[in-house]
Amino acid sequence: MTKILIAVDDSSAARSAVAYAGRYFSKADGVEVGLVHVLPNLPAIFWDEGHILSDGEKADRRKVVDKWLLEHRNKMEPLMEKDRSSLATAGIPASKVVAKFISDSTDPADSILEEAKNSGYKVVIVGRSHRSRHVLGTMAAKIVGRGGGLVVTIVD
């Protein structure tokens, strides 16, 4: 069985990574695909303000943070469903595609690699961001640099 993890976000680079996986892995036997999205870090307004919060303040802040995370998740879910559909059209059954959200991440690249290693993925596919000055893009470069033992594919 080949387990492939695709890092996705709302970029065209992520859509290219999904299309690549569909094109090159749809004919392989026993392919399982994981779509993983790392939710963005909390904005500074949600950080600790330097004082001990009362239970009521903690509960109020948790509600706001949960709402903020849910909004981001709700934004990504339709895109991940389109990715699942795209993979199914290419020949990878939807039943062989799982989606996962990671929150509370301080480094998306590390979170993606941790998910790959902990869940038994052997291949990680990442789209290269064109927003970066770096040849690979910052996150892609980190994954390549830290992804020992994994096949890492960067899709342009």
| Predicted local confidence at residue 134, as pLDDT | 45
Higher-pLDDT residue of 121 and 46 is 121
Top pLDDT among 44 and 124 is at 124
- Identify the pLDDT of residue 65: 81
What pTM did the predictor assign?
0.85
Q: What average pLDDT does range 36-52 have in this prediction?
A: 73
Mean pLDDT of 50-62: 80
Residue showing tokens 């998740």: 73
- Rounded Cα distance between 113 and 107, Å, is 10
Mean pLDDT of 97-119: 92
Query: Please, which residues have CB within 8 angstroms of residue 136's CB and are 6 or more apart in sequence?
Result: 128, 144, 154
C-alpha separations of 128 from 12, 50, 120 in Å: 9, 38, 23
Which residues 6+ apart lie within 8 Å of 50 measured at CB? none
* pLDDT > 90 in the chain, percent: 53
pLDDT at 135 over 80: no
Q: What is the CA radius of gyration of the chain?
A: 17
How much is the pLDDT for 47?
64
pLDDT value at residue 131: 53
Q: Where are the beta strands (DSSP E) in 8-122?
A: 31-38, 97-102
Give me the domains of the chain, ranges plus CATH numbers. 2-44+76-155 (3.40.50.620)
Instruction: Tell me what the pLDDT averaged over the chain comes to.
Output: 87
Q: Determine the number of helices (DSSP H) and then strands (DSSP E) in the chain.
A: 4, 5
When pLDDT is cut at 50, 70 and 90, the band that residue 44 belongs to is low
